C-alpha cells in the first residue's frame, strides 16, 4: 500500500553510493498509533502536514511507504568507547529517502526502531516508547536552544512489546538529518583498505555538505577542516547549555556537525566537569568536561582515514592534518567563549573574556550551583539597582568579586546593565529537559499510556526563554537524591 502524501524524494545516497548500504524492509506492526508529530518540521520539509497527520501513524511506522521511498540500511563502522568495531551499520534504522527542504537543504528521513536489517547482528531492530520520547524531547530542546541537531518528525507506538530487561511498549521515531554520514561511515571503507570507495564517499560528502570545496586544490584536507569547524561549533553549543551527549563514539559523530543519537544523554544540574549519567560509561570517558577532547580524538580518527587522499607522502599528509587538529582546540575555545559572552550579556570581545567566563564556571563548580538556573538568574542580578548585594553574588567573597568585574563590563556597554539583562533573557533558558521531568514524562507514557506530562514538558522546552506561570518546578534542579542515582541508558 502506498501513502497518499507526496514527499518529493530525491535519493542521492541510494542512487550514487550503491555499495554503501543494503536494502531493508520495515517490520509489520499490529496497531501503530501516533504519539507525537512535528508540524513545524513537516512544513519545513514541504510536506502537507494536515493530510500527513491522517496517515502519520502508518507512514512513520513503516506500514505505508510514501511514493519514491527506497528503504535502506547504511553501512558504517566505528570506535565505541575507544575500541574499533569494523561492522556496525544501521541495525535498527532505515532511511526512507532524501527531501530537499524549503530552504534548499537536502535532508534525510529515517525510521528508527522499524525492525531488523542486514546489520542487526542478532538485535531485534526495534525501539521502545521511553527512549523514543527521550530522543523527541531532547532534540526539540537542542533545536530550540539553537544547537545543531538531528530533528524528530514523528513518534509512533507500534502496539507490540519489545524485550529489554523487561517487556516495554514498542515505538518508532522518525529522524530528519542533514545526512547520516558519520566518521564511522568513512571508517567502514578505510578499514577495508578501500581507497576508491573512501574517496567516493569523501567526494559525496563535499558535494552535499561543503560544496565550497569543490574545485579546491586540497579538497580532502578542506573537508577535515570543515568538519572540525562544524564539530567545534557543535561541542561549544553543548558546553554552553550544559548538555552531556554520553556516547560520543565515532559512529555518532556526524560529518554535517549535527547532534545525533540521544541514548544516554542528559543535562547537568549542578555545574560539574566530571558529570556523567550513562549507565555504561564506567570510566567517565564521555563526561561533560571531556567532550571537547573527545571531539578532537574523533577528528583524529577522521583524519586517519583521509590521509591517503590528502598526500601520497604519508609524513607530509600527517603534518598537514596535524595542523588542522591543533586548530580545533583554538576554534572550539573561541566558539565557547563567544557563546558564554552572549550568555553574560557582553557585546564586544575582550582579551579578558576567557578568564572571566572560566572564572564563572570555576565558581559554579566550587559552590555546586545549578548551571541553567544560575545563568538565568544573572539577568536579575544585572537588573537590580543594587546588584552587588544580590544574594547570588553574596554566596561568597569570590563570587562578589567576579560579579563586580562582570557588572563593570556591562555598565560600559551601550544600554548598560538593563539592556544586557534583556539580551541575556533571550539566550539563557528557563526550561530545559530536566532529568527528573524527563523521567516523569517517560514513565507516565510507558506505564500509564499518559502522554500529558510529555506534551507539557515538550511545550515548555520548545519555547524555553519565556517564563510561564505555574511551571516553577520545571525550572528547578532535580532534588540531589534524584541526581545522585540518575542513570541513562543507550538503547533506543
Site residues (CB under 6 A) for ligand AMP? 88-92, 120, 123-126, 251-252, 261, 263, 490-492
Q: How far apart are the first and last CA of the chain?
A: 27
| Nearest distance from C-beta of residue 127 to ligand AMP, angstroms | 7
| Nearest distance from C-beta of residue 271 to Mg ion, angstroms | 28
| Nearest distance from C-beta of residue 76 to Mg ion, angstroms | 9
By beta-carbon proximity to Mg ion, the closer residue of 171 and 382 is 171
Judge whether 448 and 418 are in contact, CB under 8 Å: no
Radius of gyration of the chain (CA): 23
Instruction: Look at residue 425 and give the partner it binds from ligand AMP, Mg ion, none, a contact being a CB closer than 5 to 8 Å depending on partner kind.
Output: none
Instruction: Look at residue 209 and give the partner it binds from ligand AMP, Mg ion, none, a contact being a CB closer than 5 to 8 Å depending on partner kind.
Output: none
| Nearest distance from C-beta of residue 184 to Mg ion, angstroms | 8
Strand-pair partners of 161: 169
Measured CA to CA, the distance from residue 350 to residue 84 in angstroms comes to: 43
Instruction: Look at residue 292 and give the partner it binds from Mg ion, ligand AMP, none, a contact being a CB closer than 5 to 8 Å depending on partner kind.
Output: none
**Nearest to 133, CA basis, from 370, 409, 461:** 461
By beta-carbon proximity to ligand AMP, the closer residue of 150 and 357 is 150
By beta-carbon proximity to ligand AMP, the closer residue of 301 and 437 is 301
| Nearest distance from C-beta of residue 208 to Mg ion, angstroms | 20
Measured CA to CA, the distance from residue 443 to residue 137 in angstroms comes to: 14
Instruction: Look at residue 88 and give the partner it binds from Mg ion, ligand AMP, none, a contact being a CB closer than 5 to 8 Å depending on partner kind.
Output: ligand AMP
| Nearest distance from C-beta of residue 160 to ligand AMP, angstroms | 13
DSSP characters over 333-396: HHHHHHHHHHHTT--S--TTHHHHHHHHHHHHHHTT-BHHHHHHHHHHHHHSTTGGG-TTGGG-
| Nearest distance from C-beta of residue 286 to ligand AMP, angstroms | 12
By beta-carbon proximity to ligand AMP, the closer residue of 46 and 491 is 491
Widest CA span of the chain, in angstroms? 70
Q: Is 253 exposed, middle or buried (0-12, 13-18, 19+ CB in 10 A)?
A: buried
By beta-carbon proximity to ligand AMP, the closer residue of 251 and 272 is 251
By beta-carbon proximity to ligand AMP, the closer residue of 8 and 490 is 490
Instruction: Look at residue 101 and give the partner it binds from Mg ion, ligand AMP, none, a contact being a CB closer than 5 to 8 Å depending on partner kind.
Output: none
Q: Which residues contact Mg ion by CB under 5 A?
A: 252, 261
By beta-carbon proximity to ligand AMP, the closer residue of 78 and 345 is 78
Instruction: Look at residue 62 and give the partner it binds from Mg ion, ligand AMP, none, a contact being a CB closer than 5 to 8 Å depending on partner kind.
Output: none
User: Is residue 457 left, alpha or beta, with left meaning phi > 0 and alpha meaning psi from -120 to 50?
Assistant: alpha
Instruction: Select which of 101, 108, 233, 251 is catalytic.
Output: 251
Instruction: Look at residue 272 and give the partner it binds from ligand AMP, Mg ion, none, a contact being a CB closer than 5 to 8 Å depending on partner kind.
Output: none
DSSP characters over 448-473: H---HHHHHHHHHHTSTTS--TT-GG
Judge whether 183 and 250 are in contact, CB under 8 Å: yes
DSSP code of residue 216:
-
DSSP characters over 31-57: --EEEEE-HHHHHHTT--HHHHHHHHH
Q: Is 251 a catalytic residue?
A: yes
**How many Cβ atoms from other residues are within 10 Å of residue 23's Cβ?**
12
**Nearest to 260, CA basis, from 170, 338, 143, 145:** 143
Residues annotated as catalytic (active site), given as ranges? 251
Amino acid at each position: 500500500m502506498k501513502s497518499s502524501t507526496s514527499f518529493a524524494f530525491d535519493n542521492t545516497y541510494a542512487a550514487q553510493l550503491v555499495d554503501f548500504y543494503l536494502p531493508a524492509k520495515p517490520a509489520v506492526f499490529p496497531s501503530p498509533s501516533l504519539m507525537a508529530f512535528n508540524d513545524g518540521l513537516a512544513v519545513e520539509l514541504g510536506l502537507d502536514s494536515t493530510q500527513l497527520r491522517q496517515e502519520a501513524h502508518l507512514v512513520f511506522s513503516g506500514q505505508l511507504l510514501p511514493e519514491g521511498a527506497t528503504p535502506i540500511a547504511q553501512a558504517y563502522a566505528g570506535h565505541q568507547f575507544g575500541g574499533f568495531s569494523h561492522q556496525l551499520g544501521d541495525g535498527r534504522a532505515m532511511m526512507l529517502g532524501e527531501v530537499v527542504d524549503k530552504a534548499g537543504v537536502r535532508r534525510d528521513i529515517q525510521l528508527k526502531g522499524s525492525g531488523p536489517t542486514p546489520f542487526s547482528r542478532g538485535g531485534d531492530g526495534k525501539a521502545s516508547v521511553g527512549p523514543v520520547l527521550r530522543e523527541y524531547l531532547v532534540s526539540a530542546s537542542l533545536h530550540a536552544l539553537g544547537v545543531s541537531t538531528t530533528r524528530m518528525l514523528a513518534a509512533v507506538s507500534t502496539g507490540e512489546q519489545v524485550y529489554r530487561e523487561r517487556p516495554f511498549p514498542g515505538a518508532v521515531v522518525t529522524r530528519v538529518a542533514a545526512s547520516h554520514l558519520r566518521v564511522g561511515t568513512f571508517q567502514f571503507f578505510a578499514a577495508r583498505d578501500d581507497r576508491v570507495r573512501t574517496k567516493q564517499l569523501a567526494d559525496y560528502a563535499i558535494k552535499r555538505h561543503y560544496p565550497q570545496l569543490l574545485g579546491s586544490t586540497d579538497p580532502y584536507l578542506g573537508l577535515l577542516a570543515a568538519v572540525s569547524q562544524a564539530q567545534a561549533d557543535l561541542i561549544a553549543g553543548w558546553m554552553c547549555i550544559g548538555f552531556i551527549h554520553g556516547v560520543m563514539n565515532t559512529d555518532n559523530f556526524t560529518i554535517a556537525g549535527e547532534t545525533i543519537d540521544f541514548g544516554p544523554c542528559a543535562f547537568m544540574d549542578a555545574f560539574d566537569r566530571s558529570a556523567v549519567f550513562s549507565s555504561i560509561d564506567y570510566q567517565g570517558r564521555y563526561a561533560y568536561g571531556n567532550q571537547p577532547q573527545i571531539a578532537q580524538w574523533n577528528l583524529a580518527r577522521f583524519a586517519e582515514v583521509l590521509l591517503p587522499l590528502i598526500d601520497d607522502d604519508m609524513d607530509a599528509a600527517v603534518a598537514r592534518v596535524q595542523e588542522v587538529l591543533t586548530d580545533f582546540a583554538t576554534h572550539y575555545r573561541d566558539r565557547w567563549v563567544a557563546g558564554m559572552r552572549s550568555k553574560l550579556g557582553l557585546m564586544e570581545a575582550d582579551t579578558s573574556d576567557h578568564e572571566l567566563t572560566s572564572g564563572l564556571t570555576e565558581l559554579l563548580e566550587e559552590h555546586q550551583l545549578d548551571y541553567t538556573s544560575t545563568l538565568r538568574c544573572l539577568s536579575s542580578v544585572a537588573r537590580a539597582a543594587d546588584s552587588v548585594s544580590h544574594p547570588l553574588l553574596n554566596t561568597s567573597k569570590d563570587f562578589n568579586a567576579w560579579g563586580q568585574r562582570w557588572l563593570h563590563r556591562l555598565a560600559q556597554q551601550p544600554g548598560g546593565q538593563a539592556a544586557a539583562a534583556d539580551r541575556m533573557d533571550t539566550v539563557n533558558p528557563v526550561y530545559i529537559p530536566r532529568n527528573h521531568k524527563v523521567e516523569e514524562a517517560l514513565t507516565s507514557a510507558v506505564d500509564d499510556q499518559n502522554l500529558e506530562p510529555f506534551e507539557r514538558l515538550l511545550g515548555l522546552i520548545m519555547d524555553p526563554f519565556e517564563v510561564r506561570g505555574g511551571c516553577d518546578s520545571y525550572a528547578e534542579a532535580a532534588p540531589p537524591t534524584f541526581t545522585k542515582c540518575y542513570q541513562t541508558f543507550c538503547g533506543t
